Structure 1
Amino acid sequence: MKRTVLMAMPLAVLLLVSTGKGALGAVETSGSLSYVSKYIWRGWDLAPSNEPAVQGGVSVAWPSGMAFDVWGSYALDGDPQIDELDYTLSYTGNISTRAEFSVGYTHYTFPSTVSAAEAQTESSEAFIGVAWPKAFLSPSLTVYHDWEAGDGTYYFLGGSTEFTLADDESTPPLALSLGVGYNDTQWGAESGVSDIGIGLSMTFKSGSVDITPSINYVVTPEDTVNPDNEFWFGVGFGFSL
């Protein structure tokens, strides 16, 4: 069942593209598929038994700055149900020549959650962010507010940069990402700094496919989010559709 849903996502989004082309103009569609040794999100370990996961998504972007994404996660735990399927509608625009903003809405669904009155089977979240992609470390600040099952607010300050390892153009740069998250009672956590993360990755091209291996480490000061610091690795594949 999980595999069927993940494979059906590209078809659903391509249908959206074909029906919306005339009204919104030319679109760019892309897909992603990745393997991660753990599913870590905002400091939370979403597979407490430390199962790895296969994750994939499809994105549709219009020249106006509007985008629609479908993304799913499938834990390799033997459960026949997909664990998470998210739908995001967003808009990105320019504030100035050096700054940009983004706003959007994500609807989270958790198909593998047992249907019950107390079960958290879905949730809704809005976000707004500002970024300075041309500044040192490309800083960004994003605020996420969930008003359903995750009831609360999450603030994330991130940054990234690249290091050239060789003059040879065939050697990709090493990308460094940094981030600090503050959780204000979202998903039942106590208010406080929830995650301080660092990641290293390199993107290799193979024809029209981007292959990105990565290693990541997160410190989780807030025990109600995660009592353990986490290390995980992954490899992702990105491609145009």
Structure 2
Amino acid sequence: MKLREVFGAVGVVLAMVCLLGSWRVWGGEKALPISLGADLTYTSEYMWRGLHCSDDSLQWGYYIGYKGVTASVWYSMDVTDQNDNRGRIIETDFALDYSGDLGFMNPKLGRLGYSVGYIYYAFPQGEDDNTQEIYVGLSYDTHFSPSLTAYFDVEQQGGCYLELGLGHSFSLPYNTSLDLVGALGYSIDEDGTDDGYYDDNGFTHAQVTATLSYSPLPRVTLAPFVSVQLCIDDKVKNQDDVGKDVVVWGGPTVKIEF
């Protein structure tokens, strides 16, 4: 897909999102409780669970949610000639998620959240790599918002990837916040072949991301970010495109919600 086609598709989908959002906003009391959103990110590195996927990338996505169910689609496009893919979409992810809390069982469990979902990873430049995951996660609504999510690859690698997350948001003046998120990855039986994601069972990487979020308009957020990753697994450390123990990347993000 060429750049002109990509930006044309982005424009069409954004127009549809805006139209649906306007319908929801102006529907008054009869409007359905639907959440809609879109985001656009430029990142200096495309890193995924500690693994280097690409250099400079343009990434965008859209979602629609209704009563805890969220459907989304996400794209990543190369903007360099690293793999002769400049201007081409190298990945499209389709996801379906259901999230809520356990307060319906007991009010005391209202802070304990859960999520279950499905992700389909499509790679237009290498369809043999397409794969699918199911996941389940738990979180707790407290100061540092701890969470634990287990991802199960049901097509390519098999095994399980666990991710422990922590996060906190600091309110700042002028509709601004500083959002800090940490993640620690752990791989179980994802190393079965030379093409496996990781070299060994065990910890893969640790990552911290700092995002400065600013809302110049209602439902519009500008969110530049910077991420720092400590590589732990040998395969993560020795990637040809990285080859170092610490990786730093970042870029700007624009988010629109309705």
Shorter-chain TM-score bucket reads 0.7 to 0.9
Residues 2 and 61 (structure 1), Cα distance of their counterparts in 2 relative to 1, 3 Å cut: farther
Match of 2:121 in 1: 108
Match of 1:209 in 2: 220
Question: Shift of residue 171 of structure 1?
Answer: 5.8
- Pairing 1:167-182 to 2, within 5 Å after superposition: 169-170=173-174, 172-182=176-186
Give deviations 1:55-106, integer Å, cap 9, x for gaps: 00001010x2000000010111242431100000010011132111000000
Question: Shift of residue 179 of structure 1?
Answer: 1.1
* 1:44/1:226 contact within 8 Å kept: no
Match of 2:229 in 1: 218
For 1:13 and 1:111, locate their aligned partners in 2 and report how far apart those are by CA, in whole Å: 25
Residues 163 and 28 (structure 1), Cα distance of their counterparts in 2 relative to 1, 3 Å cut: closer
Structure (1 or 2) with the greater helix fraction: 2
Question: Shift of residue 174 of structure 1?
Answer: 1.7
For 2:15 and 2:69, locate their aligned partners in 1 and report how far apart those are by CA, in whole Å: 14
For 1:149 and 1:5, locate their aligned partners in 2 and report how far apart those are by CA, in whole Å: 28
* 1:125/1:144 contact within 8 Å kept: yes
Give deviations 1:166-206, integer Å, cap 9, x for gaps: xxx31623221111010123344221100101111110112
Unaligned ranges ≥5, structure 1: none
Match of 1:155 in 2: 162
Residues 163 and 12 (structure 1), Cα distance of their counterparts in 2 relative to 1, 3 Å cut: closer
- Quick check: 73-82 or 191-200, which moved more? 73-82
Residues 65 and 6 (structure 1), Cα distance of their counterparts in 2 relative to 1, 3 Å cut: farther
Match of 2:207 in 1: 197
Match of 1:31 in 2: 38
Q: Structure 2 counterpart of 1:132, which letter?
A: Y
Q: Structure 2 counterpart of 1:69, which letter?
A: S
RMSD, matched Cα:
2.4
Match of 2:153 in 1: 146
Match of 2:13 in 1: 11
Match of 2:187 in 1: 183
Unaligned ranges ≥5, structure 2: 25-31, 103-108, 191-195, 239-243
Give deviations 1:83-138, integer Å, cap 9, x for gaps: 1000000100111321110000000001122x6xxx41x100000001112x1211
